[in-house]
C-alpha cells in the first residue's frame, strides 16, 4: 500500500501527516516522525481488533512517499 505524507516542522520536532488516512507520526527528527507514522498506519491496518480489518491481509509493506508541491496544489483545488 502506498501513502503520501507531509512533514511539518514543529517547535519540539517533526510531524508526519498522512494525506490518505487519518494518521500522524511525531519525532525529534524527520526519520523518527516517518517511522512513527508507519507504525500508526500498520497498527491501524493490520491489528486483529481493528474495526474493519481486510478480509485477506495484504502482505506487502506500507510504502510512504513525501507529498509533492504539485499534489498539494491539486488537493487545495479539490477542497
pLDDT in tens, 52-73: 555 665 566 788 888 875 555 5
Segment 27-31 long-range contacts (CB within 8 Å, at least 24 positions apart)? none
In Å, what is the CA distance from 6 to each residue of 14, 22, 57, 62, 76? Answer: 10, 12, 26, 16, 14
* Higher per-residue pLDDT: 71 or 9: 9
What pTM did the predictor assign? 0.66
What is the reported pLDDT for 58?
A: 59
What is the reported pLDDT for 13?
A: 96
What is the reported pLDDT for 59?
A: 60
Domain ranges of the chain: 2-78
pLDDT in tens, 18-50: 999 889 999 999 999 999 999 999 888 776 665
Amino acid at each position: 500500500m502506498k501513502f503520501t505524507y507531509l512533514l511539518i516542522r514543529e517547535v519540539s520536532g517533526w510531524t508526519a501527516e498522512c494525506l490518505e488516512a487519518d494518521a500522524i507520526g511525531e519525532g525529534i527528527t524527520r526519520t523518527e516522525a516517518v517511522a512513527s507514522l508507519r507504525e500508526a498506519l500498520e497498527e491501524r491496518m493490520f491489528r486483529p481488533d481493528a474495526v474493519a480489518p481486510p478480509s485477506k491481509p495484504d502482505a506487502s509493506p506500507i510504502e510512504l512517499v513525501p507529498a509533492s508541491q504539485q499534489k498539494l496544489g491539486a488537493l487545495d483545488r479539490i477542497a
